[in-house]
Structure 1
Amino acid sequence: MIHPRTLRVDNDRTTSVVCVVGAELNVNLNRSAPPSSRFFSVKCTSNVHYSITPPPRETNHLSPISLKGNPVLLISMRGASQHENDSKLSVRYYGENKEVLGKAILHLTAIEISLDVDADRDGDVEKNNPNKGSWKWGPNGHGAILLVNCDSERTYWKTLDHTQDSVTKVSDLKDMSLMVLRTRGPARLPEGYKLTMHISQGDAESVRVFRSGSSAGSDNALSLSYLYNAFVKTYPLVLSNEVLSQEVPYLGGIGEMKFYVEGLRFPDKDFNGLVSINLSLLEPIGQGLPETPIFTDRVMFRVAPWIMTPNTLKPIEVFVCSTSDNYHFLKGMRSLVANSGYKLKVFHEYVNRGDRWMQDELEFGYIDSPHHSFPVVLDSPRDGKLVDLPYDELLGPDFGYVTRTARRIDVSSLDSFGNLEVSPPVTVDGKSYPLGRIIIGVAFPTATKGRNMTQVVQDFLWAQKVQEPVALFSDWLVVGHVDEFMTFVPAPDRKGFRLLLASPDAGYKLFKGLQNDGHGQAKLFDGVKDEEPITVDQILADEEFQTENNYVQSCIDWNRDVLKRELGLEDADIIDLPILFKLKDDHGIAKRAVAFYPDMVNMIVLGKNLGIPKPYGPKVNGRCALEAEMCSLMEDLGLNCSFIDDFGSYHKLLGEVHCGSNVRREPFDYKWWNLEM
């Protein structure tokens, strides 16, 4: 919105004025009138439009108009000037007897100025969108979108692009949002006038602006150093946290100048994601005095959030680690991924340094805008021996990186990203979450010494807004991750997915059924190296073990109720998997739970194919009863079960298939800015 500008004029003097087309100049006629003035009249050239408020009573436009009522002259320009001072307006003042007492003359230069962005989010920078200076969510919303430039155009000696002081490759420009300065007017601005672009100190921490300049040339004889410096000058830095205001060129005639806007940080507790950029036309006042703004145009951006991808989205690539003892796990994963038709990336020991927990070190997501999108890996503060992998192995062109750093004393097992999941899209009490909801595990609300996900990570996740998090109780587990008792799988009906929950009750029901059918002597762990087999009868006879599993079931039921409430689920949307747990002392602090046999809920989901920890359950007629139950439950959904041997290399180390793998998936088709907030 262009606000009116008050203009002072001097009697018996010519005043040169620059006016922006679309703006309005307000002249208080009594302020500039000579003493004893009673009437006035106005004349102007064709490019000038004027009106008077309050409207005069006189009907003859040639008759002088009374100065009573404190009249204000409203002046605007119909179009841009071709030359400086090519439009004129004069005001004559008259006495009581209509004698001329004085005359004020304006020489006007009209300029069109528009700082433009893609405010309607269609990928094009339209001219002077009326909503460009604000931001609104929803399909009928408006406002431009900015990406954090968190990938790296370098593949060696990597640095995040937004940490560099210059644009070093043209390819980096596609990660930035285009902003266009459009002008129309005379060949040059009147002397002393200038255009400046400026931002606030607060916004300067979140955004930078580069400008396109003249070509660097293509002389092959030029040195590499010269070419680099020339290229940098081609895209000079205009605004940063060290330069809050800078003059920008006025091109003259009909001109367009491109600017490239770069996001520096994601929304967070101290940053709501909104940034504004301003362009002002400054007018000289006098020698040694600062210029004053006579027109300001403003645009607003929202920084795109980091978005997680749920199991229901199509996989692109699967990531695992190779260690000296996980041959059987890798064999199963290679077969599953190959049969599913996706890519498998194996990080060998010289990269993983013996750390096998791919899920715990990182989480894949993406950022999106109308003009570009790319995957972004979120690096956890866990920082095991895989600490360098997200940066060294994943960061690159069109593959971004972000992390949150916490004090080591604040980091616990709950900061590993097996404790960070996301639901498929849901609707809860009429409110839609088309990108799903993030799920994390924390301590029980009444706990005084419980472990929690570190606050800097929680703040980051909540600040993204588009996948409003749900907090579950996971501190009852030794490892403490939500993926130990829940996951999501695609389904052809209802909400398009099922929530799978570990259930000791389902486990006991299965084993009691086996006992009733005469299979009480069937053994778990039969043939597993270094593991003592145990019969169904022995499990069912252990009252302390059952008491422990009753406690575990109560913990899971607490979370079941939270998930039903927060995800809008019914019992028909949930499948209970037969999984038993055992309690153990966790460093003498408390008794916490671990899976008794490989935890089948801790699976990898690749479309309709599931990679499930091989449970080594009791065999009936030559087939594992736990596998048979799992297949029965999943095949009803059209899902295929593959059982992967992770017993020695993952389960005994308190993890499973999901903990040892990670999946990068395709982004949502749904555009986050269409959310109703």
Structure 2
Amino acid sequence: MANYTVQLTAPDGNYPFNRVRISLTSADHPQQARELTFTPQARTKTHTFAIANGTWDLKVTGAGFAPINEANINVAGNATNAKNLSVIFYSLHSDRNRDGTVDIAIGRQGHRTPENIRFGPNGTGAIIPVNCNQDGGNTGAGYTDNQDNHVNGDNDLDSGIAHLKIIQQSFGPPAIVPPGWALRLRISPAVADEAAANRHFRIFDGIANNSVEVLGPETVATEIPQDIATVGAEQTYGIEAVRFAGQGFESGRAIISLLGIQPEVSGPDIPAYFFIEHVIAARWIANHHQQTVTRIYVEHSNDDDFLQSLAAAAAAENTPYPLTAATPAIAPQTNVPYLNGNAWNNFTAAGKPGLPTAASDQWLRDTMVSGYSSWPGNGGGIERQDVFMKAHRWHHLQNWVYQTLLNHDIGVFYPAVGTADAINDGNSGGNISVTPPVRKSHLIGTTDYRFGRIYYGHHRESTLDNSSRQFLAAQNMQAPIVLNVDWLRVGHVDEMMTFVKANNPGNPYKRWKLLVASPATAYQIMRDNQVAHGNATLLARPPHSPGNATANFAGLPAPGTADASATITDFLGNGVVPMYWGIPVMEANAYSYQQLRTWNIDGVEKVITDNVDKMKSAFDLSNADIIKVPVIFIPETRIDGAFGLTDKISIWTSADGGFNIYPGRNSGFRCSALTGDMPNLFSGNDHLFIPKPFGPWVVDNTVANNGYDLFERDLEQKIVAIGNGLACDFIDDWDYYHAHHGEIHCGTNETRAPFNGQVAFGNARFNNWWTALDG
């Protein structure tokens, strides 16, 4: 017998492997084996085998170690065989610290790097851009860059693609990678019950233009081999997110794994080691009214007076901005792609026969929601992309969105595409709004919403589609507030409230006022002016005013009448209202001004107040923060179903044909604004573009325009009292917008510059969402 000592020295260095297996085999004797474990303090290890003299083969193997195969060793007495080991393996890397450069530090072998995605100044985990604009000429009409399997041009690879790297790591004496070694790249969900991760992220074989997908939506497999010779010393891959977090992808995260195959260690199929990069898709953030407008959109309609008024108002802003006219009437039908299995198909919404046709469609706001996405740029700096959330609305403007609006500068993301979610009015962008930065105080501490909070209507009659709701919630940025807009015929939150800027240097969470529609305010103004101005006319263009060249009042149309004009005395009296509401045939639909008045003051005002109370429970909102805006509503349709006692405005009287039922309840009405709905305004940089209310017009030849509107004057005085320098531009939108159940806000949309969190909150960390968030 001989004492045969094997002495192994592992190289110095920071690498995640420390164990090898020594094997001595002979044709004539039993196999001898031993495992050795190295430590930084003990790089040299020995083991002495008691073996018979003869011919032996020595093998040394271990994950991450180059194997040693020494055959036909003649053992004839005690001997020592000293070997210097070589470490060679492949590691995976991403921009974990978000500085724009792929981190070359080796991650923890066998663990996620980082274990948890974190935010704040020291946050970790690569942020992957959702590449939903259209940079290159190699995408089809209607397709965003992340809806094909190529890198789309130089702009795309510079800004829309993040980087991954596989790097060959070696320590100790130079070694040749054995021919049997292999690498495999895998993408997996970070959360077990989410959909396959290759539906959410795409990895390209490089970062040059036209680099192709190796893992992603059009790749059936979620794991593929990577040629070691091609990888070489290092290989850079491009990666993009195909979608934002949302339905089936609530976490927005994935894990990307590099599997190292060493057959001598664990066989030809089982990885000897693996490295995992934990990544997250960039967030989508909805814009709020404290952000500077950079462009306004409106349909190119036949209403030239409105367009000219709007363009003039935009040009008069402090920091003016251009107006872009949307052209749905001439936009060609454009398919909307969605991922069906592993292929992109053309989407048709549930219940729709095909694509919308080319036709006029003035509702820019209802078609999409203004927002943006941002992420750490390659090489440093911040990348930012204007991104409109496409609302689940199937109408003519959709063709223009995908044919023209989608471009290098503008991205589009459609949460409900490919789903069976139903189309309804509540899905529209006018039903999705955002507060400015707000704070919620608790008994102990506060919760700060530095990017504001989304609010939308969702109840029984008016609902927001499930996909959009899950998308908004999954961004985990602007925690949604859910309101009840069942009482509104169109069912949009912008019909009852909006936010305007206000000076408040001492509190960045209160630099706003909430404008709320208030029938009670409208009627109070009329009561206050009944004696002096009882003959002041509502719902009419004054003499010699834009749209009326005559010397008389020109009455405006409303449901059921070509002339809805009436005086303060009429509105405070008990005559018959000339309007009607849509009801079953043979049922009386006439009603009096007294019914209208009581229903507005006691019914509509109450349901609006209920929504304001929900806002008060969601963030710090007091009555001092609220501006009541005079608006009168009218019933439009009635909701079927039996009412309960609590549905009645007054429990002591009858249902009064629906006028003693709270709007939005069974047997009650869904309603629309009768006077111009002033809260449904466009909030510019230092101007408010407000729909003319056509409230009571007081003739007064001593002032400009030979008179004034009491409702306009009331709101303007309240805006002036804020002391924020906002100018009120009252614009006539009656014919093309109001008469079709919308206003200026409904008919416009915009892009806005990033919110300057550093200035607002006094710290540079609040400039970017990933450093602004806590934890």
CA distance in 2, matches of 1:406, 1:647: 37
User: Percent identity, aligned pairs only?
Assistant: 28
| Structure 2 residue identity aligned to 1:636 | A
Alignment equivalent of 2:718, drawn from 633, 641, 649: 633
> What is the match of residue 450 of structure 2?
434
Choose from 493, 504, 507 the match for 2:522: 507
Match of 2:18 in 1: 25
Q: 1:308-345, CA deviations, whole angstroms, 9 ceiling, x for partnerless residues?
A: 10111000100001223x22221211111111211100
Match of 1:6 in 2: none
Inter-partner Cα distance in structure 2 for 1:117 and 1:23: 18
2:583 maps to: none
Give 1:321's aligned residue.
Answer: 299
SS of residue matched to 2:398: coil
Determine the structure 2 residue equivalent to 1:7.
none
Tell whether 2:330 aligns with 1:350: yes
Deviations 1:574-597 (A, max 9, x none): 111111111122587851111111
Cα distance, 1:261 vs structure 2: 0.8
How far is the alpha carbon of 1:21 from its aligned partner? 5.2
**Residue 545 (1) aligns with residue 545 (2):** no
What is the correspondence of 1:295-334 to structure 2 with a 5 Å cutoff?
A: 295-324=273-302, 326-334=303-311
> 2:186 matched to 1:198?
yes
Residue pair 1:47, 1:87 contacting (<8 A) in 2 also:
no
Alpha-carbon contact 2:10-2:43 (below 8 Å) kept: no
Instruction: Give the direction of change, closer, same or farther, for the CA distance of 1:571–1:65 in structure 2 (3 Å limit).
Output: farther
Q: 2:13, 2:237 → 1: CA distance?
A: 21
Distance 1:251 1:619 in 2: 82
C-alpha contact (below 8 Å) 1:504/1:578 kept by paired residues: yes
2:203 pairs, out of 189, 202, 209, with: 209
CA contact (8 A) 1:132 1:144 kept: no
Counterpart AA for 1:200: S
SS at match of 1:565: helix
**Gap runs ≥5 in structure 1:** 1-10, 53-60, 67-74, 94-98, 216-230
Q: Give the aligned partner of residue 237 of structure 1.
A: 213
Quote the residue 2:468 is aligned against.
457
Residue equivalent to 2:768: 671
1:277 maps to: 256
> Cα 1:647–1:284, aligned 2, differ >3 Å: closer, same or farther?
same
Change (3 A) 1:114 1:565: same
How far 1:392 sits from its partner (Å)? 1.1
Change (3 A) 1:548 1:51: farther
1:8-60 alpha-carbon deviations (Å, 9 max, x no partner): xxx8999999999512333689999x99x9xx99999x9994378xxxxxxxx
Q: Output the CA distance in 2 between the equivalents of 1:187 and 1:160.
A: 45
* Conserved? CA contact 2:117–2:123, under 8 Å: yes
Q: Does the 8 Å CA contact 1:19/1:108 hold for their aligned counterparts? A: no
Q: What is aligned with 2:651?
A: none
2: distance between equivalents of 1:191 and 1:30? 21
1:548·1:583 contact (CA, 8 Å) conserved in 2? no
Matching of residue 374 in structure 1 with residue 385 in structure 2: yes
Q: CA deviation at 1:280?
A: 2.2
CA separation in 2, counterparts of 1:356 and 1:128? 54
Q: 2:432 aligns with which of 399, 402, 420?
A: 420
Alpha-carbon separation, structure 1, partners of 2:419 and 2:230: 54
Deviations 1:125-168 (A, max 9, x none): 22226554531133332111011222222468422222212224
- Aligned equivalents of 1:615, 1:43: Cα separation in 2: 82
Matched, 1:166 2:150: yes
Counterpart code for 1:24: F
- 1:278-677 correspondence to structure 2 within 5 Å: 278-285=257-264, 290-324=268-302, 326-340=303-317, 341-348=320-327, 349-351=329-331, 353-371=359-377, 372-403=383-414, 404-405=416-417, 410-429=422-441, 430-443=446-459, 447=460, 450-493=461-504, 495-516=510-531, 518-526=532-540, 527-529=553-555, 530-541=562-573, 542-549=593-600, 550-586=602-638, 590-620=668-698, 621=700, 622-637=707-722, 638-669=725-756, 670-674=767-771, 675-676=773-774
Using structure 1 for the length normalisation, give the TM-score.
0.81
Give the match's secondary structure for 2:609. Answer: helix
Cα distance in structure 1, aligned partners of 2:681 and 2:539: 19
Given that 1:183 and 1:250 are in contact with CA atoms closer than 8 Å, whether structure 2 keeps it comes out as no
> Aligned partners of 2:457 and 2:243: how far apart in 1?
25
Alpha-carbon distance in structure 2 between the residues aligned to 1:311 and 1:41: 66
Let me know the Cα RMSD of the aligned residues. 4.0
TM-score, with structure 2 as normaliser: 0.71
For residues 135 and 100 of structure 1, the distance between their equivalents in structure 2, rounded to whole angstroms, comes to: 58
Structure 1 residues 102 and 242, CA, compared in 2 at 3 Å: closer, same or farther?
farther
Contact 1:406 / 1:454 at 8 angstroms: preserved in 2?
no
CA separation of 1:480 and 1:648: change in aligned 2, threshold 3 A: same
Aligned partners of 1:20 and 1:112 also within 8 Å: no
| C-alpha separation in 1, matches of 2:22 and 2:418 | 64
| Selected match of 2:167 from 171, 182, 186 | 182
CA separation in 1, counterparts of 2:269 and 2:469? 46
2:123 aligned with 1:141 = yes
Contact preservation (8 Å) 2:22, 2:35: no
Tell me the alpha carbon deviations over residues 230-266 of structure 1, each in whole angstroms, 9 at most, x when there is no partner. x64xx34332342433333546999332111111122
**What does 1:48-67 correspond to in 2, within 5 Å?**
49-50=42-43
SS, match of residue 271 in structure 2: strand
In the alignment, the residues of structure 1 paired with residue 37 and residue 13 of structure 2 have an alpha-carbon distance, to the nearest angstrom, of 20
Deviations 1:556-579 (A, max 9, x none): 000110111112211111111111
Bigger shift: 404-413 or 481-490? Answer: 404-413
Closer/same/farther in 2, CA of residues 47 and 119 from structure 1, 3 Å limit: closer
Give the drift of 1:203: 1.6
- After superposition, the Cα gap between the structure-2 partners of 1:298 and 1:534, relative to the gap in structure 1 and judged at 3 Å, is same
Determine the structure 2 residue equivalent to 1:57.
none
Superposition deviation, residue 538 in structure 1: 1.4
Contact 2:7 2:44 (C-alpha < 8 Å) held by counterparts: no
Match of 2:134 in 1: 152
User: Runs of 4+ in structure 1 displaced over 4 angstroms?
Assistant: 11-21, 27-32, 40-44, 46-49, 63-66, 84-88, 99-107, 249-254, 406-409, 586-590
Deviation by residue 1:635-666 (Cα, 9 ceiling, x = unmatched): 22321000101112211111111111111111
Distance, in Å, in 1 between the alignment partners of 2:37 and 2:403 is 71
User: In terms of mean alpha carbon deviation, does 278-287 or 263-272 score higher?
Assistant: 278-287
Q: Quick check: 2:19–2:36 contact (8 Å CA) kept in 1?
A: no
Partner amino acid, structure 1, of 2:516 = L
2:103 and 2:152 map into 1 onto residues whose CA distance is 28
Of 161-170 and 245-254, deviating more is 245-254
Alpha-carbon distance in structure 1 between the residues aligned to 2:290 and 2:117:
31
Query: Is contact 1:282–1:294 with CA below 8 Å preserved after alignment?
Result: yes
**Aligned-residue offset at 1:407:** 6.9
Match of 1:422, as an amino acid? Answer: V
Please state whether the residue corresponding to 2:86 is helix, strand or coil. Answer: strand
Work out which of the residue numbers 80, 83, 91 in structure 2 matches 1:114.
Answer: 91
Local SS of the residue matching 1:127: coil
CA displacement at 1:519 relative to structure 2: 1.1
Give the distance between the partners of 1:168 and 1:640, measured in 2 at CA.
44
What one-letter code is carried by the residue in structure 2 that aligns with 1:277? I
Decide which of 258, 265, 268 is 2:246's aligned counterpart. 268
Q: Give the SS at the match of 1:560.
A: helix
Alignment of 1:248-259 (within 5 A): 248-250=226-228, 255-259=233-237
Give the whole-Å Cα distance in 1 for the aligned partners of 2:524 and 2:629: 11
Is the 8 Å Cα contact of residues 87 and 108 (structure 1) preserved in structure 2? no
Match of 1:3 in 2: none
Q: What letter corresponds to residue 626 of structure 2 in structure 1?
A: I
Aligned 8 A contact 1:85 1:107 in 2: no
